[in-house]
Amino acid sequence: MKNIILCGFMGCGKSTVGRKLSRRGNMEFVDMDRYIEEKVGMTVKEIFAKYGEQKFRDMEREACRELAERNNLVIAAGGGTLTFPENVETLRRTGRIVLIDVKYEILCERLKHDKNRPLLQVENRNEKIRTLLDERMPLYSRAASVVVNGNFGSDDVASNILAILH
């Protein structure tokens, strides 16, 4: 089996679902943010603070290229990764891109105490989530070949993905 790439907004469950999926499908799990952090020796938060978002996006693009060389992976992409056509092209060639679709209200609830995601450290977090979500949903939909309802627990979401892909 080729790779499975999980796509969707921050807080949609890409990492939690991805870990479960990899266990059940006997695949290796890679969280792209953690992959970048290990490579650079800094957290995503530190990378944004020290070098800015653009530099992070460069690292992310590089990570996509590297991971695309590998097989049998479940990759949890970052929330911004698949908004860039180049990354979509790179990853699409290596497997199926699955969008985990979670509604706005649930995302706001899940993200309300977050301190690590640089894009959400703003005064009106819910408004930021609304704006980003509206911008990104069409891009995610274009990138993905499969969309799953993510408004459930991660076990159910993982089962649905496996059922659809097999």
Neighbouring-strand partners of residue 15: none
Choose which of 25, 78, 95, 150 interacts with ligand S3P (CB under 6 A): 78
Q: Is 88 in the site for ligand S3P (CB under 6 A)?
A: no
CA–CA separation, 31 and 37 (whole Å): 10
φ/ψ bin of 26: left (φ > 0), alpha (ψ from -120 to 50), beta (otherwise): left
Q: Is 13 in the site for ligand S3P (CB under 6 A)?
A: no
- Planar angle of CA 54, 45, 77, nearest 5 degrees: 70
Q: Is 118 in the site for ligand S3P (CB under 6 A)?
A: yes
Q: Is 10 in the site for ligand S3P (CB under 6 A)?
A: yes
Q: Which stretch binds ligand S3P (CB under 6 A): 92-100, 102-110, 113-121, 143-151?
A: 113-121
- Contact of 109 with 154, CB cutoff 8 Å: no
Q: Is 79 in the site for ligand S3P (CB under 6 A)?
A: yes
Q: Is 119 in the site for ligand S3P (CB under 6 A)?
A: yes
